[in-house]
Homo-oligomer: A and B are copies of this chain.
């Protein structure tokens, strides 16, 4: 009866570091404060643990495909997953990159509206959709949390529409780098040398560009001294202000 599609983690309160032993696997979850589980008490986490299993997937491995029966939902605990939609002739739009704390799979429809695939090695919690919905029924604060996450997701989607419909290639790349930086910081990671684990093709499919244009645009920014390419797919934002100005279409 209930919902969702794709929920992005948000900061709820101060990250509660708890590497301590716990009454359940979930009690030790390092990204709990980012997830749908954030508002739950320790004792309630046992319930969550009882209906979830963990899994890991390797880069390029699919999680599910558009059109499949949507009977599982997922919570990402580590790594990066991309979600995308395809046109008949293979044109692809990546509609989001998901990270630790993000939630995906819930849908009003009985079938997934998009495909999901690992970008990096990723760790996930898997739930049976019905069981999770039953759990939500018993925990209104968890449902509120979903609503709140959905709200953020909608705002992000509108921002992405502005990007896709109206920004230039350079502005798109600048916005993309800032988004990755901001999201890394939300997860308590470094925001400046920003980690860019996805391929040029994935970036292009996310920004409505080709790989060539993505590559050329990185080169322009690099030549201008605005960014610097580091090893391990990391990019240093040398001059943040010009990047912000670009992203805002200034």
Task: Please give the residue numbers on chain A whose beta carbons come within 8 Å of chain B beta carbons, in ascending order.
Answer: 1-6, 10, 85, 87-89, 91-93, 95, 106-109, 113-114, 140, 143-144, 146-148, 150-155, 157-162, 164-167, 205-208, 248-250
Contact = CB atoms under 8 A, between A and B. Distances in A.
A208 B166 contact: yes
Given A10-B108, A91-B249, A4 B150 contact: yes
A93 B208 CA distance: 15
A153 B158 CA distance: 11
A85 B159 contact: yes
Contacts of A154: 4-6, 150, 153-154, 157
A72 to B, nearest CB: 16
A13 B87 CA distance: 30
B147 A4 contact: yes
A228 to B, nearest CB: 26
A144 B150 CA distance: 12
Nearest to A167: B87
Given A162-B85, A165-B164, A208-B166, A148 B1 contact: yes
A161 B160 contact: yes
Contacts of A144: 1-3, 143
14 contacts: A1-B148, A3-B147, A3-B151, A4-B154, A5-B151, A10-B108, A91-B167, A93-B162, A93-B166, A140-B140, A143-B143, A157-B157, A157-B161, A161-B161
Given A161-B93, A161-B164, A165-B208, A108 B155 contact: yes
A92 B208 CA distance: 17
Contacts of A113: 155, 158
B248 A151 contact: no
B155 A158 contact: no
A158 B157 contact: yes
Contacts of A114: 158
Given A144-B143, A147-B150, A151-B108, A166 B5 contact: no
Contact of A162 (B3, B95, B140, B151): B95
Contact of A3 (B1, B109, B148, B207): B148
Most chain-B CB neighbours within 10 Å: which of A1, A88, A161?
A161
B162 A87 contact: yes
A250 to B, nearest CB: 5
A158 B207 CA distance: 13
